[in-house]
Amino acid sequence: MSFFDDEPVKKPKPHEIGQDLSLLSVAELEERIGLLRTEIARLEAELKTKGSTKSAAEALFSRN
């Protein structure tokens, strides 16, 4: 809680690839792993969607 209500709330720093992990607690590491797993799943879903779109376009424009 801030001393004054109008002070900006400090957001936790997002994970940066390659950052020093030695200062993070076990709970912080586990939280980041969970966030990264969620992000990986989101990226894989987008990749799958783009692959399906590409396959459909290739099938449509195929000259067989």
31 located within any domain: yes
11 located within any domain: no
45 lies in which domain range?
Answer: 23-64
Would you state the pLDDT for residue 55? Answer: 79
Would you state the pLDDT for residue 40? Answer: 96
16 located within any domain: no
CB 13 within 8 A of CB 30: no
Lowest mean pLDDT among 4-13, 16-25, 35-44: 4-13
Q: Which two tokens stand for residue 26?
A: 């076990």
- The total domain count for the chain is 1
Residue 3 pLDDT greater than 70, yes or no: no
SS3 string of the chain? CCCCCCCCCCCCCCCCCCCCCCCCCHHHHHHHHHHHHHHHHHHHHHHHHHHHHHHHHHHHCCCC
5 located within any domain: no
CB 15 within 8 A of CB 36: yes
pTM summary value: 0.61
44 located within any domain: yes
Would you state the pLDDT for residue 24? Answer: 93
